[in-house]
Structure 1
Amino acid sequence: MRLYGVVGYKNAGKTGLMERLVTEITRRGFTVSTLKHAHHTFDVDQPGKDSFRHRNAGAQQVLLASATRWALMTELRGDAEPHLADLLARLDPVDLVLVEGYKRDAHPKIEAFRGVSGHPLIAPDDPTVRAVASDTGMTLDRPVFDLNDTKAIADFILTEVGL
């Protein structure tokens, strides 16, 4: 499986870029999965629903299935957060996995950057950031794309991963 990341600080445009990239790349006929890192506690389940009640009762894993989709929830219950490689191993094979976050891991990435964010660029200190997608003009030692030029960014990523 080929892997490419989208990184950046909060409100840099990562999720919007991910969404547009998935749409563009799947439109071209490739299969894509996504993996997103969250820095906070999150819950995909709803209080009062059966699956929530199963987890709340102490189940280690709860698999919820229907004719439309299935979801497997795993409670860490104090165990360490899994590494990216361990999570990737759980995904079905696809042409490309786009990863949002995991900026400290060694896979190739593009940085989403908005000038008004007030955050510094990650790219100058990180060789795994192969390009920057920004809403401001800048000159770097690597490619810089307009944050909204999804086609050019998708072209770059697909070339980088050999698709």
Structure 2
Amino acid sequence: MKNAKVPIIGFAAFSGTGKTTLLTQLIPILKQQGLRIGLIKHSHHNFQIDQPSKDSFRLREAGASPVMLVSTHRRAIITEFQPAREPMLDEQLLTFDQSELDLILVEGFKAAHFPKIELHRPSLNNPLLYPNDPDIIAIATDYPLATPQSLVQLDLNQPELIAKFIIQQFHQFKVRT
């Protein structure tokens, strides 16, 4: 990823495997270690972050793009893709403020080339991704798998151990105390 200014690590899995659930557990653990975490999530849906009755929605519908909505608590920038197209992670990194981050976690973008942890639950009967993705550095699973020794296996139900693995992988982080 030529536009990554800080380390990035992805979480790749089929829908319903628990990517978001794991990330909501990992983020507080990593933050407790002093890491400043950003996140980019790929969605396959035509999502709306503003409401049809709100001014920002009406201004965007009138043709403004991008639209920035800002308050004392947060900022959102809404940019329309014309024509609609599949987003590329490296392009999105250009517009993602990385200046105060230590690590970017990425949910999705399975086809992009960057380090990823695969999440796999054998009970869901989905195929493993790692055989066709050389960027997968570990697999987090809820049941032991027969995998190559070079592929680290993590317990999907132990987010503390997954966080420890991430920190070990990116030991160049300057963990603040």
Q: TM-score range by the shorter chain?
A: over 0.9
Query: For 2:94 and 2:142, how far apart are their aligned partners in 1?
Result: 34
The DSSP-based 3-state class of the residue aligned with 1:159 is helix
2:155 matched residue in structure 1: 146
Structure 1 residue corresponding to 2:133, chosen from 126, 129, 132: 126
1:36 matched residue in structure 2: 41
Q: What amino acid sits opposite 2:166 in the alignment?
A: I
1:84 matched residue in structure 2: 89
Q: Could you tell me the TM-score, scaled by structure 2's length? A: 0.87
Alignment pair present for 1:155 and 2:164:
yes
The DSSP-based 3-state class of the residue aligned with 1:52 is helix
Residue ranges of structure 1 left out of the alignment (5+ in a row): none
C-alpha spacing 1:79/1:10, structure 2 compared with 1 (3 Å): closer
Structure 1 residue corresponding to 2:73, chosen from 68, 71, 83: 68
What's the CA shift for 1:39?
A: 1.2
Query: For 2:44 and 2:84, how far apart are their aligned partners in 1?
Result: 16
1:92-125 CA-to-partner distances (Å, cap 9, x unmatched) read: 2210000000111110000111122221110122
Q: What amino acid sits opposite 2:165 in the alignment?
A: F
What's the CA shift for 1:79?
A: 4.9
Question: How many residue pairs get matched?
Answer: 163
Conserved in 2, the CA contact under 8 Å of 1:12 and 1:113? yes
Residue ranges of structure 2 left out of the alignment (5+ in a row): 1-5
- Mapping 1:40-55, distance limit 5 Å: 40-55=45-60
Over the aligned positions, Cα root-mean-square deviation in angstroms equals 1.2
Query: For 1:8 and 1:74, how far apart are their aligned partners in 2?
Result: 27
Runs of at least 4 residues off by over 4 Å: none
Alignment pair present for 1:107 and 2:117:
no
Query: For 1:21 and 1:89, how far apart are their aligned partners in 2?
Result: 25
1:14-51 CA-to-partner distances (Å, cap 9, x unmatched) read: 11111111111011111000000011211111111110
Over the matched positions of the two proteins, sequence identity in percent amounts to 39
1:31-76 CA-to-partner distances (Å, cap 9, x unmatched) read: 0000000112111111111101111111111100111111100011
